[in-house]
């Protein structure tokens, strides 16, 4: 086994990156039954909180910070549920730039490729590894991009999000050219706040003009249930008849469709 590594990004905050990471990881683990790992690289730890609630974990006693300091991530893995594990983040990870500089004072390439080195042994244990990062050009995004095989871009259908996506792709190309990053755009996921809204439709059309088939046909529309998952953890409650509750089923169906479409893109890119 050699797992595939995905970074989910956009250089604008609040567009739904963490939601996308956690939902895709959940569907990979539950729907595809694949061994899945989420690496939370955001010191705010939003993905960590959502997954902790998903797995009913009361205490988190491991962290990516310790893994980076101890030069191994393997002891920092926490089981969330069957097939779904995570490496949690905490606020001390905000010191990553200082940590990397102290470890590799005069070696920028080692600083930005440290995560790639730490992930290598994990790829033998997982089918998929998803990385959540802060929306900044920083050591966090550099390390994630260098370590990843594919980039999944989240595009909220508003002007600033499209700007953030363009900057992200341009920066990805800069890393590829200057540091030999082997990274490809796997897909751009449209997150539409208001279906049929004039601005939303215009931005989606612009994105399709610019990026063509990279933009997924599946549009993630605003759903109240997805906000509930952020607060209560991701779940599939069943009703008295033993069927998954309607709004839960609808939210999961949407991200299963996103996952399947991304898988189609991946098969296509592997043939090239």
Domain ranges (residues) in the chain = 4-271
Residues in a beta bridge with 188 = 153, 215
Residue 181 vs residues 208, 228, 264: alpha-carbon distances, Å = 25, 37, 23
The CATH number of 4-271 is: 3.40.50.300
pLDDT at 160: 83
What is the spatial distance between Cα 146 and Cα 175, in angstroms, rounded to a whole number? 8
pLDDT at 196 (0 to 100):
65
Task: Name the β-bridge partners of 79.
Answer: 85
Structure tokens at 195: 């279906």
Taking alpha carbons only, the member of 173, 176, 254 closest to residue 216 is 254
Q: Rounded to the nearest 5°, which phi and psi values hold at 59?
A: -125, 140
pLDDT score for 1 = 66
Q: Running DSSP on this structure, what letter comes out for residue 18?
A: H
Collapse the DSSP code of 266 into the 3-class scheme (helix H, G, I; strand E, B; otherwise coil) and give the result: helix
Per-10-residue mean pLDDT, the chain, length 272: 91 91 98 98 96 96 96 97 97 96 95 96 97 94 96 89 92 90 92 75 91 94 89 92 91 96 96 86
Return the CA Rg of the chain. Answer: 18
DSSP states along 117-141:
HHHGGGGGT-SEEEEE--SSSSHHH
């Amino acid at each position: 086994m050699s797992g595939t590594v995905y970074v989910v990004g956009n250089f604008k905050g609040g567009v739904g990156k963490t939601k996308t990471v956690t939902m895709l990881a959940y569907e990979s683990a539950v729907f595809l039954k694949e061994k899945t790992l989420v690496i939370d690289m955001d010191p705010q730890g939003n993905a960590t909180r959502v997954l902790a609630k998903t797995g009913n974990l009361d205490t988190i006693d491991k962290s990516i910070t310790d893994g980076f300091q101890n030069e191994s991530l393997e002891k920092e893995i926490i089981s969330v549920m069957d097939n779904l594990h995570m490496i949690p983040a905490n606020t001390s990870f905000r010191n990553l730039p200082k940590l990397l500089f102290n470890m590799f004072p005069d070696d920028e390439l080692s600083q930005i490729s440290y995560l790639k080195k730490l992930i290598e042994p994990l790829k033998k244990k997982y089918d998929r590894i998803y990385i959540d990062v802060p929306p900044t050009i920083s050591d966090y995004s550099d390390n994630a991009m260098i370590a990843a095989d594919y980039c999944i871009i989240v595009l909220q259908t508003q002007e600033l999000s499209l700007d953030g996506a363009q900057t992200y792709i341009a920066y990805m190309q800069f890393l590829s050219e200057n540091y030999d990053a082997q990274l490809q755009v796997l897909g751009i996921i449209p997150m539409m706040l208001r279906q049929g809204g004039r601005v939303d439709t215009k931005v989606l059309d612009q994105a399709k003009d610019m990026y063509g088939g990279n933009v997924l046909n599946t549009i993630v529309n605003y759903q109240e249930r997805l906000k509930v998952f952020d607060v209560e953890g991701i779940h599939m409650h069943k009703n008295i008849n033993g069927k998954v509750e309607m709004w839960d089923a609808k939210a999961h169906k949407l991200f299963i469709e996103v996952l399947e479409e991304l898988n189609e893109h991946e098969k296509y890119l592997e043939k090239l």
